[in-house]
Structure 1
Amino acid sequence: MKSPNVKWIYLIILSIIWGSSFILIKKSLLGLTPYQLGAFRTIFTGVILLSVGYKKLKKIPREKWKWLIISGFLGSFFPAFFFAIAETEIDSAVASILNSLVPLNTILLGLAVFGIASTRRQVLGVIIGFVGTAILILKGSELNPNQNYFYAGFVIASTLMYAANVNIIKRYLQDVKPLAIAAGNYVFIVIPAVIILLFTDFFTAERLNNPHLYSSLLFVFVLSVFGTALAKIFFYKLVHISTPVFASSVTYLMPLIALIWGVLDGESFSLIQALASLLILFGVYLSNKIKS
């Protein structure tokens, strides 16, 4: 029997890994376009996961593949491009804060579409966390008035996709191993990523002579290995041993890590944002507190 603390260990590790992903995206954009970043992130991750998990693919039941395909596009393909596009206009820390909408959307989609029940305490905890997130967003817009928040829509769209994905995994892929899910996701999304890359200007002399190109590719590689490949295996494992709401609450802790990286990189941060972050943490605690 596994210790109930195991899920918290997974949650903390994922928070650190994914919280660091936003600054890696920001640095990768110095030498790559958003479409090149998204394509390379998908290709690198696909090669890694398929090389270590291809044997698991044979054990996946045929009826599960349609859900793996949907999960791959919603949980990996589109968000890889959408977050890169968003961070061309908004700070990495702001993108991570907006990503905190995932638990709220997980509950709403779980109830409305997938029939997965949530307790009142979970709903209250998510709402409190969302209020903290809203304060962070509003204060961030005051500190950065020149940012184009229209691009925040790409992050919000990604949160809806993530929410749908975590519910799909819990409802339809519960009996599929985490590595098999992660590898299966990329079987059908690597080729579209290669096609997109071929239609960009990556192979032109101007792009290949960009002084930031190779450091950007290194950042994307690190992002792919840790922020996508390893993190997805951990995340799917977390979904299996906990609930969709608990697993998606990782997005409440990620902004704290992302904000630290943002401050170190010169992004603005205030006392009010620190207090809002504490409110978010309380929301996570409340939404996952078990009745005695």
Structure 2
Amino acid sequence: MTAPAAPEPVALTGRDWGMLVAVALMWASSYLFIKIGLEDFPPATIAWLRIALGALALTLVPAARAPLRHREDWRLTAILGVVWMAVPFVLFTLAQQHIASALAGMINGAAPLFTAAVAAVWWRRSPDRRLLIGLAVGFVGVVALGVPNVDGSASLTGILMVLAATLLYAIAFNISGHLQARNGALAVIWRAQLVALVVVAPFGVPGLLDSTPTVGGWAAMIALGALGTGLAFVMFVTLVGRIGASRASITNYLIPVVALALGAGLVGERVAPLSMLGIVLALAGAYVANSRRRT
């Protein structure tokens, strides 16, 4: 597969920063919605429902149903649905049967580093020094955030599953920017979700038929699908098209910060001093990686 020309990133505007924070908030909240949903649905069913409800939300938007402007992009869009949604959602679900969610989130914090590495190979262009410094500082912050919440019972199988899912995210981030630039974010994401919906259906639909969900469980799934797998994905792909995959993936450094704040604010979880240092480093890394002169 021949790599197209790399998108040229620009300096972030206030609107871009707002979208980064909004995506982080929606994806961080997803952990809470999944926890609520697990009381009513099997894990694979939650993965399928979030895709189904996200696709349903986008179906209501006319721009999502617009045809792809380039028919040859259908193949890449199908690949995007598999590597960004179908396989990672299942891998994360299986992994968290073996490792703590804090450890899974910490490993997923490597997504920006993986994204920059994939971009360097894909586009045959090395990232600039400021971006690399920001990515490194941010990743140290994510590790500091997660270490106080990790126990010693993690299995190698679970760790490898999360690493595989994170690498697939990095590949998807680099694919999505080119597709969005050529066809529009809504049209690409909706079709990718439809592909993922079909792929995950054999694992998710049987559990749905055997479940007796409550109103709270359905409310959590609707929020998870419409926000975390609908609006957040569209915002993220739009950012990738504007500022490049490596910088947009900095969202993964903001997610644990938001998750920690939600945990402390909503359920009174204690925040360790090392986690406070991690918050500072994660935010500093995100700022350094995204601060550059407008091109």
TM range (shorter): 0.7 to 0.9
Q: AA paired with 2:112?
A: P
Show structure 2 runs of 5+ residues with no match.
1-10
Matched residue, 1:238: 239
CA deviations 1:220-242 (Å, max 9, x no partner) are 11100011101111111111221
Closer, same or farther: CA 53–173 of 1 in aligned 2, 3 Å = same
Q: CA deviation at 1:90?
A: 4.4
Closer, same or farther: CA 166–114 of 1 in aligned 2, 3 Å = same
Closer, same or farther: CA 116–221 of 1 in aligned 2, 3 Å = farther
In structure 2, distance between residues paired with 1:19 and 1:270: 19
Q: AA paired with 2:238?
A: K
Aligned ranges 1:120-131 → 2 under 5 Å: 120-131=129-140
Do the aligned residues in 2 keep the contact of 1:71 with 1:165 (CA within 8 Å)? Answer: yes
Do the aligned residues in 1 keep the contact of 2:68 with 2:188 (CA within 8 Å)? Answer: no
Matched residue, 2:7: none
Q: CA deviation at 1:148?
A: 5.0
Q: AA paired with 1:274?
A: M
Matched residue, 1:72: 81
In structure 1, distance between residues paired with 2:67 and 2:277: 49
Closer, same or farther: CA 155–134 of 1 in aligned 2, 3 Å = same
Aligned ranges 1:198-277 → 2 under 5 Å: 198=205, 200-204=206-210, 207-208=211-212, 213-263=214-264, 264-265=266-267, 269-277=271-279
Q: CA deviation at 1:268?
A: 5.3
Q: AA paired with 1:278?
A: V
Residue 286 of structure 1, aligned match among 274, 285, 288: 288
Matched residue, 2:201: 194
Closer, same or farther: CA 25–87 of 1 in aligned 2, 3 Å = farther
Closer, same or farther: CA 89–216 of 1 in aligned 2, 3 Å = farther
Q: AA paired with 2:75?
A: K
Residue 180 of structure 1, aligned match among 156, 164, 187: 187
Root mean square deviation of aligned Cα:
2.5
CA deviations 1:23-69 (Å, max 9, x no partner) are 21122112222111111112222222234247644243101111111
Do the aligned residues in 1 keep the contact of 2:44 with 2:207 (CA within 8 Å)? Answer: no
In structure 1, distance between residues paired with 2:123 and 2:269: 39
Matched residue, 2:163: 156
In structure 1, distance between residues paired with 2:269 and 2:144: 17
TM normalised by structure 2 equals 0.86
In structure 2, distance between residues paired with 1:237 and 1:201: 33
Show structure 1 runs of 5+ residues with no match.
none
